[in-house]
Amino acid sequence: MKMLLFGASGLVGSTLARLAATAGFDIQGTVGAWRGGAIAGVPNLVRVDLMTGDGVAQLVEESGAGVIVNAAAIADPGSCDADPARSHRVNVSLPGQLAELTHKNGVRLIHLSSDQVFDGSAAPYSVGDTVRAINLYGRQKIESEQLVQAADPAAVTLRLPLLLGNSLSGRRSVHERLLELWAAGGVARLYVDEMRQTCTADSVAQAILQIIRQPGLAGVFHWAGAKPVSRFEIGEGIRQKFGLGGNRAQVVATSRKDDPRALASRQADLALNLAPLTTRLVVKPQTLAEALAELKLPAWWNVESLRGS
């Protein structure tokens, strides 16, 4: 099957490309600002200006794809706040445009959304629970979900949690950013009362591939790890995973209650109820230990400078 993958250079996109190619998919991938060269699993890489949407319709219609996966997003809430028009184009207008095109052309659409459509006050969240975002990114994801499902009822919208994994640049995922902080002598101050149901991009990619193989699946679904863990647990798990001593790679427990800004801008608990998807897929939700086992040191990291310190 041919797959058209938007956001092929991102954490989920690049991981999906690698696994989908191994599974026999013929992948055409799109990138925007990516300048890092070839992407494994994507023999046909197309540069698309997502800010204008020019060429998107032609690309969809000429691709011959049986499925389109939209993994393109501006997912950092701060970046959304800094440039709302730009983030709206990528996070809202693009998925809406893709849904109209997939419905018109009879192509399957998998659109990736976020647990941040919820406000974090009433976890665990089921797929039918009321969405209520506390930041612009979450509100844009809500709007994108509504546009996609209205334009193409056969589409799948997959809400995802905070993701771990190994990015192409080695500087985008949670553990890579922590390593950057530690390499610069910084201290990771992480909340013990901010819960996330994290999993890896590999787990997400496996779920997407199994969803694609079930054409009857449509609507909104959740995919995440096996159970919620705190930001502190994630950070401490990453430190221990790479055998880093606490004198230089410090993880300090802190509380949202001690930070008024965190109470206003960060969700307390974004745990997700994964039903009914867990009964439809072979892949199982990851434990934190299983997720940590997949993480690798980025090429830029000199681990010997911190090991055992």
Residue with tokens 């998807």: 277
* pLDDT score for 285: 98
Residue with tokens 């206003």: 264
304 pLDDT exceeds 70?
Answer: no
24 pLDDT exceeds 90?
Answer: yes
H/E stretch holding 60 reads helix 56-63
Average pLDDT over residues 231-252: 93
48 pLDDT exceeds 90?
Answer: no
138: tokens are: 């979450």
Average pLDDT over residues 32-59: 85
Mean pLDDT of the chain, nearest integer: 94
Residue type present at position 277: L
Quickly state the pLDDT bin for 307 (edges 50, 70, 90).
low
Find all residues with CB under 8 Å of 128, minimum gap 6, and list them: none
Average pLDDT over residues 124-136: 97
71 pLDDT exceeds 70?
Answer: yes
- Are 212 and 108 in contact, with CB atoms under 8 Å apart? yes
How far is the C-alpha of 242 from the C-alpha of 259, rounded, in Å? 29
Instruction: Give Cα separations from 102 to 27, 88, 141, 213 (angstroms).
Output: 17, 20, 19, 17
Tens-place pLDDT, residues 182-193: 999 999 999 999
Tens-place pLDDT, residues 90-101: 999 999 999 999
* pLDDT score for 247: 81
Quickly state the pLDDT bin for 50 (edges 50, 70, 90).
confident
Average pLDDT over residues 250-260: 92
Task: Give CATH superfamily name and number for 2-164+199-222.
Answer: NAD(P)-binding Rossmann-like Domain (3.40.50.720)
How far is the C-alpha of 115 from the C-alpha of 309, rounded, in Å? 36
